[in-house]
Amino acid sequence: MNSVIDALAAGNSSVRLKAALAIGTHPEPGFVDVLVARCGIEPDFFVRDMLTWALTRLPPDITVAKLRAELRSGRAQARSQALHTLSKIGDRDAWPAITRSLLHDADDEVARTAWRAAVVLVPDEEKEALAAELATQFGRGDREVRLSLSRALIALGDVVEPVLHTAMTHHDPAVRAHAGATQRLLLDPDAGFDLAVEAARRVVALGPDRQESTAC
C-alpha cells in the first residue's frame, strides 16, 4: 500500500497515472484520504481524471463527506476537483454542499465546475431557483466561461426560459447578448456558440424598437 501511495507523488506523471489506475482497479477505503489530497495538488490533467475515477470506485458514504470538506479549501484546484468528482459520483445528498459562494467563486474554473456539478446534483424542485442563480452570471468571463454557463443553463431544460427572457432585457449589453446566445442554443442545440453570440449581438445592437419590429 505504501509503495502505491509513494508512486502517486512520483516525479514522472506516467508513474502517478499507473498508481491511480492501480488504486481504482483494487479500491480500498484506506486510500480515500490520499486520493482526495492528491486531487488538490496534481498538476497533470490525465492523472487528476484517473484520481477522480479511483474515487468513484469507492462507496459514496466514504468519499462524499471527504469531498465536501475539500469545497472549503483555500486551494482553487482542490475545490474544483472536489466539485468535479462529486458530479461524477452523482450522489444527490451532496447537493446542499453546492453553495452560492461556489457558484460565484472568484476563480473561473471553480465556478465553471460548480455550475456543471450543480446541474447534475440539483433536485427537480430546485431547478428554477438554480436557473435564476446561474443567470446572475451572464456576461462573466471569456468565451469558455460563457459557453460553460450557457451549457449548464440549457441542461436545466425549459425552466430556464423565464430567466433568459428577463436577462435579455438587462441594461448591460454583454448580459443581453449572452442570454440571447443561450436562448438560441436552447432552441437549436446544433447551432455553434460563436454564431449564436454574433447573432445575439446583432439583435442587441438593433435596440428594443428594432427587435420588436424584427420579431413581427
pLDDT band at 115 (very low <50, low <70, confident <90, very high): very high
For 92, the grid coordinates are: 444527490
Write out pLDDT tens, residues 36-66: 999 999 999 999 999 999 999 999 999 999 9
What span, in angstroms and rounded, lies between the C-alpha atoms of 186 and 131?
A: 13
Write out pLDDT tens, residues 124-166: 999 999 999 999 999 999 989 999 999 999 999 999 999 999 9
Instruction: Work out the number of other CB atoms within 10 angstroms of the CB of residue 7.
Output: 17
**For 159-195, b where at least 16 C-beta lie within 10 A, e where not — what string?**
bbeebbeebbebeeeebbbbbbbbbbbbeeeeeebee
pLDDT band at 3 (very low <50, low <70, confident <90, very high): confident
Backbone angles phi, psi at 154, to 5 degrees: -60, -35
Write out pLDDT tens, residues 9-39: 999 999 999 999 999 999 999 999 999 999 9
What span, in angstroms and rounded, lies between the C-alpha atoms of 98 and 91?
A: 12
Contacts of 18 (CB under 8 A, 6+ apart): 7
Structural domains of the chain in order of their starting residue, each with its CATH number: 1-121 (1.25.10.10), 127-216 (no CATH)
What span, in angstroms and rounded, lies between the C-alpha atoms of 121 and 199?
A: 32
Write out pLDDT tens, residues 57-95: 999 999 999 999 999 999 999 999 999 999 999 999 999
The pTM of the full predicted model, rounded to 2 decimals, is 0.85
